[in-house]
């Protein structure tokens, strides 16, 4: 992992009214890295993730993906927000998988995965279909391509959502607690797909409560609380031998 970091956050702040959610986040995610964010609810993890693809505006500091400022351009030391169309172009390179699967209910699994490359990139149906079939096969859903979301389990819907994000051929994948809405027996299939992605070299930022996944697959782990990075390092070190009392208290409840 060399060169420019894939994601660089420098002093990132975000507030909603009087609530100061992110309080100066500094971190770097290297190319090809699996970067796990853990912490209690309300610690700012999901907000930070949404700032990376400018679903939320940052109020201070700066965020870059692959060397490019996200959502802004800099001129004479000042930041100017990009137009929606310019932000949309940046977002093409960033895949996002949400807690809730957000699939189009009136479309089959195959059509869900084909939709964005056709609409956003102007790909032909034949090219989009070939890739969609390959991706659905990759996530273990070759036999469910013609099914609608209502005919799929939560775990299957989430795997379609991952295939849909991959269809845009992103250079970065963001996962916002992708297994927290699933029944326990369905979690493993989704984590297996994420493991496979990690092994293929995809850069991933994963907000998760799955500490086993973080320990086994993660390259770096950050523990956030109260909108700040409390502790960071190798997942096995942080989870196995946390240095901060706040980290210890959190892990004592979840491990």
The model's pLDDT over 151-161, given as tens digits with 9 standing for 90+, comes to 999 999 999 99
Q: What's the confidence (pLDDT) of residue 1?
A: 45
The yes-or-no verdict on residue 2 having pLDDT over 60 is: no
Q: How many other C-beta atoms are found inside a 10 Å radius of the C-beta of residue 163?
A: 26
3-state secondary structure (DSSP) of residue 222 = strand
CB distance 219 to 35 below 8 Å: yes
- 172-176/72-75 β-pairing: unpaired
Name the pTM for this structure: 0.94
Q: What is the pLDDT of residues 5-27, one digit of tens each?
A: 999 999 999 999 999 999 999 99
pLDDT tens digits for range 114-142: 999 999 999 999 999 999 999 999 999 99
29 has pLDDT over 50? yes
């Amino acid at each position: 992992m060399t060169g420019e970091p894939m994601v660089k956050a420098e002093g990132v702040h975000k507030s909603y009214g009087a609530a100061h959610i992110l309080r100066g986040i500094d971190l770097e995610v290297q190319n090809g890295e699996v970067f796990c964010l853990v912490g209690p609810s309300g610690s700012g993890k999901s907000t930070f993730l949404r700032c990376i693809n400018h679903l939320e505006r940052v109020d201070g500091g700066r965020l870059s993906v692959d060397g490019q400022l996200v959502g802004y351009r800099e001129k004479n030391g000042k930041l100017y927000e990009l137009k929606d169309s310019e932000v949309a172009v940046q977002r093409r390179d960033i895949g996002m998988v949400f807690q809730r699967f957000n699939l189009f209910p009136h479309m089959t699994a195959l059509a869900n995965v084909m939709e964005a490359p056709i609409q956003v990139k102007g790909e032909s149906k034949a090219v989009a279909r070939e890739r969609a079939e390959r991706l659905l096969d990759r996530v273990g859903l070759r036999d469910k391509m013609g099914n609608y979301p209502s005919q799929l389990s939560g775990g299957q819907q989430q795997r379609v959502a991952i295939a849909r994000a991959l269809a845009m051929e992103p250079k970065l994948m963001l996962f916002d607690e992708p297994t927290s809405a699933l029944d326990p027996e369905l979690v493993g299939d989704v984590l297996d797909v994420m493991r496979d992605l990690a092994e293929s070299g995809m850069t991933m930022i994963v907000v998760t409560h799955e500490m086993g996944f973080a320990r086994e697959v993660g390259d770096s782990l950050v523990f956030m609380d109260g909108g700040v990075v409390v502790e960071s390092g190798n997942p096995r070190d942080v989870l196995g031998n946390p240095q901060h009392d706040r980290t210890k208290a959190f892990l004592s409840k979840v491990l």
